[in-house]
């Protein structure tokens, strides 16, 4: 078999299936690779084997060869270990960002090039173009499916070697193409969450790696309103899972997490959705990654997302000599969360981003005391 020009990552989902379909129909010499990123832990909750079978069936339907690569050790070392460390420290990490950087656009790209391919393709909803001497990462045309947020750690070498065949398409068209082509994944439900957690309970999974420690749930003024199973199970702004219904002396209204005090194992909650404890104007980050290799300027205007699917917001960015950023928003932002990624845009162009380190949101520790 001659070397393929492009290797497509076949995940067993409809998006990667249609990416392969489009490339095959364009006459591109093509091969598929299925990546195993998580070793089966025997729980039956991670559907990797089902996905593998679907990927094989798609490759057979399209008449393209498929190979398999086990990246579970690389995933553990490059993604999962960091995921656990961050949760244990009380932060909320985003493993999909690391998975793209460490696995799909590093180890997978290396594997594809070892097969003789010049480029890889994935089913991500994003676009790449080349303008003014550099590669640009752009939002997908379908704003509701855009995944550039998760791809902001890519750089010039990765973008030069990557195709995103779905970048111009709405998801409805992708489903229709799969159906018309008779692909076995046409009606398959989109995967959500993280494979290594699957459909199981998040808390019971995390407790296997981060020992649970019960503590008090308090209001910002220090009143104890309940207990929690571990502060690392919760994220800022969260309202589900607190089990605080009918607290004596308080209104029958939802409670929201407004602070996680790892140092004394206290979870702080408020009944105001946009509590002042959740609102910040300034965010500081770890060292940033720039798609172009460098920031546009030492200080510049941009728009930022602090969570996936959150509307971007106008901000002023200051890039410091050590690579870190100070980002000042035009309007106060709710629940900006350390450990998550702050991703910067200029129109449709993704400039890059960084992990959120801290914000100027007031901490409830000042008034809640130590009990």
Q: Which of 124-128, 134-138, 190-194, 326-330 has the lowest mean pLDDT?
A: 190-194
Q: Tell me the percentage of the chain whose pLDDT exceeds 70.
A: 93
Q: Which of 46, 99, 315, 350 is catalytic?
A: 99
Question: Which runs of consecutive H residues, i.e. helices, occur in the chain?
Answer: 14-25, 48-62, 72-75, 81-88, 95-99, 108-114, 156-160, 171-180, 202-207, 365-368
CA 83 from centroid of its chain's CA atoms? 12
Q: What count of Cα atoms within 13 Å lies in the side-chain half-sphere of residue 31?
A: 21
| Eight-state DSSP code of residue 326 | E
Give me the domains of the chain, ranges plus CATH numbers.
6-180 (3.40.50.620), 211-274 (2.30.30.280), 277-359 (2.40.30.10)
| pTM check: above 0.85 | yes
- Taking residues 245-274, report their average pLDDT: 91
What is the rounded CA–CA span in Å between residue 179 and residue 175? 6
3-state SS assignment for residue 121: strand
Examine the residue annotation and report whether 195 is marked as an active-site residue of this protein: yes
Q: Quick check: 248 pLDDT over 80? A: yes
Backbone angles phi, psi at 151, to 5 degrees: -105, 10
What is the rounded CA–CA span in Å between residue 195 and residue 51? 11
The tens digit of pLDDT for each residue in 139-193 reads: 999 999 999 999 999 999 999 999 999 999 999 999 999 999 999 999 998 876 6
Examine the residue annotation and report whether 99 is marked as an active-site residue of this protein: yes
């Amino acid at each position: 078999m001659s070397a393929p020009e492009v290797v497509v990552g076949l995940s067993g989902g409809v998006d990667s299936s249609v990416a392969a379909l489009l490339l095959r129909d364009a006459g591109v010499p093509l091969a598929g690779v299925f990546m195993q990123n998580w070793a089966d832990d025997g729980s039956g909750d991670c559907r990797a084997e089902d996905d593998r079978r679907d990927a094989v069936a798609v490759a057979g339907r399209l008449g393209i060869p498929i190979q398999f690569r086990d990246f579970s050790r690389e995933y553990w070392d490059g993604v999962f270990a960091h995921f656990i460390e961050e949760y244990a420290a009380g932060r909320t990490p985003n493993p999909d960002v690391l998975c793209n950087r460490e696995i799909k656009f590093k180890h997978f790209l290396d594997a594809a090039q070892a097969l003789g391919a010049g480029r890889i393709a994935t089913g991500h909803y994003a676009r790449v173009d080349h303008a003014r001497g550099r590669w640009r990462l752009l939002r997908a045309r379908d704003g509701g499916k855009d995944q550039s947020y998760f791809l902001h750690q890519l750089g010039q070498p990765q973008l030069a070697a990557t195709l995103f065949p779905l970048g111009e398409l709405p998801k409805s068209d992708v489903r229709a193409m799969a159906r018309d082509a008779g692909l076995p994944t046409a009606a398959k439900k989109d995967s959500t969450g993280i494979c290594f957690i699957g459909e199981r309970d998040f808390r019971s999974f995390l407790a296997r790696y981060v020992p649970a420690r019960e503590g008090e749930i308090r209001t910002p003024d220090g009143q104890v309103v309940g207990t929690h199973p571990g502060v690392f199970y919760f994220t800022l702004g969260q309202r589900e899972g607190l089990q605080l219904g009918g607290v004596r002396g308080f209104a029958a209204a939802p409670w929201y997490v407004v602070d996680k005090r790892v140092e004394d194992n206290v979870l702080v909650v408020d009944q105001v959705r946009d509590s002042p404890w959740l609102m910040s104007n300034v965010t500081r980050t770890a060292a940033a990654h720039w798609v172009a290799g460098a920031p546009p300027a030492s200080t510049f205007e941009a728009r930022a997302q602090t969570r996936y699917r959150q509307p971007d917001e106008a901000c002023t960015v200051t890039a410091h000599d050590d690579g870190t950023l100070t980002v000042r928003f035009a309007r106060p932002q709710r629940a900006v969360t350390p450990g998550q990624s702050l991703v910067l845009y200029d129109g449709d162009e993704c400039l890059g981003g960084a992990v959120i380190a801290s914000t100027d949101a007031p901490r409830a520790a000042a008034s809640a005391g130590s009990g």
